[in-house]
Amino acid sequence: MQFTRTLSGKDFHEMFLVATEWLEKSVADVNALNVFPVPDGDTGTNMLLTMHSALDEVKDPSAATVAEVAKTMSRGALMGARGNSGVILSQIIAGLSRSLEEVETCDGRCIAKAFEQASITAYKGISNPVEGTILTVIKDVAKAAKAKSLNGTSDIVSIMEEAVTAASESVANTPALLKVLREAGVVDAGGQGLCIILDGALRYLKGEADAMQFRKPQIIPSKVPLTPHSITTPESICDDEVPFGYCTNLLLKGQSLDVEKITTKLKKRGESLVVVGDDKTIRIHVHTLDPGWVIGYLTTLGTLDNVHIQNMDEQHEDFIEMQKEKAPAGGISMVAVVAGDGFAEVFSSLGVSFIVPGGQTMNPSTKDIFQAVEKCAAENIIILPNNKNIILAAEQVKKLTEKNIHVVPSKTMPQGIAALLAFDYDADFDTNHKLMSEAINSVATIEITQAVRSTQVNGLDIQKKQYISILDGQIISADDSLQNSLNQAFEQIDISAAEVVTVYYGESEDGAGAESVSASITGKYPHLQAEIIKGGQRHYNYILSLE
Amino acid sequence: MVKIVTDSTSDITRDLALSLGITVVPLTVFFGKQSFLDRVEMSTDEFYERLVEDVFPTTTQPSPGVFAEVYNQLAEETSEIVVIVISGKLSGTYQSAVSATSMVKKKGVKIEVIDSRSTAMGLGLLAINAAQKAKTGAKLEEVASSVRTNINRCHPYVYFETLKYLAKGGRVGKAQGLVGSLLSIKPIVTLDDGEVSPAARVRSKKAGLDHLYNFAAQYSGNIEAIAVEHATTPDDANTLVERLAEIFPKDKIIRSTMSPVLGTYMGPNVVGVFILEGEKTT
């Protein structure tokens, strides 16, 4: 049944619940709208988790006003904001909340006004707003809704219809505004995500919530002619990432057990999988979000013994407790977002008090970083995001904590390490922030990964599975050979000024492979002093730093 | 005239000690059971020849008896002695020097023992400066008070290739955070109130030497004395001296080598710069 009345706080909450479910259905598609064919901060996932955090904060909307619900959602979104698009989404919700501050029940006119404030707040929250992104979409939405409302209507459905139409057109137009989108042949993922949320909200208002169960949002095609290498089959990127979950350990006993088959089956369900044994007894260790499924599956094969399931989030808490003591001099503690256990050890050994696990595909939320900050002994905290997608979320922590925060805008882990090395034990908080921020430019970072799809970037043809070299965030080369791709990246750097090359090898590689990469470099540039470290990072075969 | 006594970690060379009339009391370094008097029975070069992989020598302070002997000898020619020794946080030398004061036989000899809160040429520059002051005819109180003022103006800054030896010797102090890093990092270390303290971290020797130069250059225009020391790499130290000539007369830069006792904690390849700041207040 279509809404003809105004929204209560409960309706408002429900509208966003339905809209978020709508978004959830297309998370993989939104994630696939990545500009770079590398495993990147997944926009869809980030927006979804931000919405969940916003909605979960609302405990009991049954008797609440719109103002109360919006305010609570705004706080939840701010805490849970992940990735750049999540942070902007949280600003949009903050803007809605600000505009609805005094509103008990809201009609179309209120919504139109709220969109306008949302647009203003979102633009203000970003230091250098870029057009052709989610920002443009919310701006266009606000404009359309305002125009409709000034036309004399206060009907919420007709105003939302205008908003959604404007959002779709705006999303389709994003490649016209942003060159990288045009080249990659995609529309902006954040804008697309927002459009789906608004579309979901509209469907709720039209009384279609039940029918939505059997349908799926449409990804908007670009209205700008794309380069020939447009997306073929979008695939979900790295959706197997499990942040923590449960550490599950057990012994499986049975007859003619098949180690290989069990390995294949469990691989899809978790991380850090170990399956060892023979056809009668097998020891299994896996980190999974769903231990129930694992147990259920294994009981069909034999009997279980020594079952241990441990909540790793708690283990992580313990780990964090242990880190509490480690604070560098001068009342300054450092928090770093790090991917890979090897890198975590390096950062830890350089005096970082808290490691927030994260990185490319699992951007930590503002809350994750905030919690680490709160646990630090010191009052002055320096945050190293080590990823361009996390810098904004780190900046948001300033709004949540009483502590003094400086964010060193490190975009790669080697930059973070260079910043740490520049830490001056005698200098004060502000001076250290300055020294560390300057130091990130003293290092060049080369990241080597494999393309997850074929595309074109910077006029470079990239085939799926090819090795891509990324120099300080710019894709330099794509080649079937890792070595060739790396060599091309090296040609872009002034090697004569460099002294030390550090090769961090990822989870997929081993020390021997790293040795040969290192040898190929020192063979060509004998003045370089090489060092090989296990980084343990996912998705990136190698990360190299030159300084 | 006031006589100046210091210990062998001051790295004051024999010639310089002779010309300034400074008495240097040696500490002792042990390789296993074999003992060598620092800078007397073993030179820096001989020490590093023996310091091979996984050999960790040990050291010991001079006994009060050794200091007493020195005091008694000097008491023959003076009644005022100023003793400046290695930081009490690094060595027990100060204790020995103090205990020995009660063993002086001759009456009326005034002895003032000062903890330099430094070592190597940090201590060396203090002793040299005190000796020069004594030569002008200053009395004990005057010399001692000038040493005390100079302690806060004395800045050691040493590039280490590794903190392995410092950690093994239990002298790592506040630089604990620099130990056990997975990356090969070259620490730069200073002394903070007599205790080893981290100053910076670099990834290469060249960057380390740049740091040493920049550290010295910040005092440019207000430098009383500079010393440069090496352990096994004279070329690095010489290059640094060439650069320092831009901010201080090259022929006045004091050159020395780390004593075997210091080498025990510093390991090979260290290079240090030591500044005695002038009296201008900033």
Q: What's the complex ipTM?
A: 0.72
What is the per-residue pLDDT across B219-278, written as a single tens digit (0 to 9) for each? 999 999 999 999 999 999 999 999 999 999 999 999 999 999 999 999 999 999 999 999
- Cβ(B190)–Cβ(B155) below 8 Å: yes
Beta strands of chain B (E only): which ranges?
A: 3-7, 22-25, 28-31, 34-37, 58-60, 80-85, 110-115, 154-159, 186-192, 195-202, 223-230, 254-257, 271-277
Indicate the range of A7-16, A231-240, A527-536 predicted with least confidence.
A231-240
Instruction: Pick from A263-267, A520-524, B4-8 the range whose average pLDDT is largest.
Output: B4-8
Distance from CA of A384 to the nearest CA of B (A): 18
Among chain B residues, the shortest Cα distance to A326 is held by B177
Q: Using 50, 70 and 90 to split pLDDT, how confident is the model at A320?
A: very low
pLDDT, tens digit (0-9, with 9 covering 90-100), for B170-207: 777 767 666 656 777 888 999 999 999 888 888 889 88
Of the pLDDT bands very low, low, confident and very high (cuts 50, 70, 90), residue A311 is confident
Average per-residue pLDDT for chain B: 92
Q: Residue A231 pLDDT > 80, yes or no?
A: no
Out of A115-119, A152-156, B36-40, which region has the weakest mean confidence (pLDDT)? Answer: A152-156
CB B198 to CB A345 under 8 A?
Answer: no
Interface of A with B in 353-392 (CB under 8 A): none
Please give the residue that has the higher pLDDT: either A55 or A424: A55
Chain A CB within 8 Å of residue B187 CB:
no
Cβ pair B183:A417 closer than 8 A: yes
Q: In the prediction, which pLDDT does A319 show? A: 45
DSSP-based three-state secondary structure for A305: strand
CA distance A380 to chain B (A): 18
B174 DSSP assignment: G
Asked if B197 reaches chain A (Cβ–Cβ under 8 Å), the answer is yes
Could you tell me which of A417, A464, A479 has the C-alpha nearest to residue A445? A417
Distance CA A278, CA A403 (A): 55
Greater confidence (A183 vs B68) lies with B68
Whether the CB-CB separation of B248 and B222 falls below 8 Å is answered with no
The least confident of A295-309, A430-444, B90-104, B121-135 is A295-309
Q: First-to-last CA distance in chain A?
A: 64
B206 CB within 8 Å of a chain A CB: yes
Of A342, A350, A422, the CB nearest to B181: A350
Check CB contact of B201 with chain A, cutoff 8 Å: yes
pLDDT of A277 > 80? The answer is no
The CATH superfamily assigned to A324-439 is Phosphotransferase system, mannose-type IIA component (3.40.50.510)
**How far is it, in rounded angstroms, from Cα A304 to Cα A183?**
54
Higher pLDDT, A495 or B248: B248
Q: Which of B105, B270, B87 is nearest to B196 (CA)?
A: B87
Domain A9-212 shares a fold with domain A444-546: no
What pLDDT score does B2 carry?
96
pLDDT at A317 over 60: no
Of B183, B197, B202, the CB nearest to A425: B197
What CATH number belongs to A9-212?
1.25.40.340
Q: Is A350 on the interface with B (CB under 8 A)?
A: yes
**Contacts of A233 by beta carbon, 8 Å cutoff, 6+ apart:** A453
Contact across the interface for A500 and B181, Cβ inside 8 Å: no
Domains of chain B: 3-151 (3.40.50.10170), 154-277 (3.30.1180.10)
Q: Which of A338, A343, A345, A421 to mutate to test the interface with B (most CBs of B within 10 A)?
A: A421
Spatial strand order of the sheet with B34-37 comes to B34-37, B28-31, B58-60
Percentage of chain B beyond pLDDT 90 is: 73
pLDDT at B109: 95
The confidence band for B10, taking pLDDT boundaries of 50, 70 and 90, is: very high
Contact (CB<8Å) A529/B199: no
Residues B212 and B214: their CA atoms lie apart, in Å, by 6
Span of A185-189, A276-280, B72-76, B176-180 with lowest mean pLDDT? B176-180
Asked if A421 and B203 come within 8 Å (Cβ–Cβ), the reply is yes
Helix (H, G, I), strand (E, B) or coil at B277: strand
Q: Which chain A residues touch B174 with a CB distance below 8 Å?
A: 329, 425
Selected residue of B181, B190, B205, B206 to mutate for chain A interface (largest A Cβ count, 10 A): B181
Which pLDDT score is estimated for A130?
A: 85
Report the Cα A84 to chain-centroid distance in Å: 8
The structure tokens listed for A442 are 């003293």
Residue A386 has pLDDT above 90, yes or no: yes
Q: Where are the domains of chain A?
A: 9-212, 246-311, 324-439, 444-546
* Cβ neighbours of residue A300 closer than 8 Å, sequence gap 6 or more: none
Residues 287-326 of A with CB under 8 A from B: 326
Residues in chain B within 8 Å Cβ distance of A422: 200
Among B182, B197, B204, beta carbon nearest to A349: B182
Each residue's pLDDT tens digit, A330-381: 688 999 999 998 999 889 888 888 899 887 677 888 988 998 998 888 899 9
Q: For residue B117, which amino acid is it?
A: R
Provide the pLDDT for residue A179. 81
**Cβ contacts of A531 on chain B, cutoff 8 Å:** 183-184
Does any CB of chain A come closer than 8 Å to the CB of residue B174? yes
What pLDDT sits at residue A323?
41
Rounded to whole angstroms, the Cα distance separating B264 from A542 reads 39
Sign of CA dihedral B107, B110, B116, B120: negative
Q: What is the CATH code of the structural domain delimited by A444-546? A: 3.30.1180
CB contact under 8 A, B182 and A426: no
Report chain A residues whose CB lies below 8 A from the CB of B202.
Answer: 421
Residue-wise pLDDT tens digits, A82-93:
877 888 899 899
According to the model, what pLDDT value does residue A40 have?
Answer: 61
Contact B27, B60 (CB under 8 A): yes
Chain B residues inside the 8 Å CB shell of A327: none
pLDDT of A450: 92
| pLDDT exceeds 50 at position A43 | yes
Domain A246-311 has CATH 1.10.3720.10: no
- Is it the case that residue A63 has pLDDT exceeding 80? yes
d(CA A175, CA A133): 9
Residue B85 has pLDDT above 90, yes or no: yes
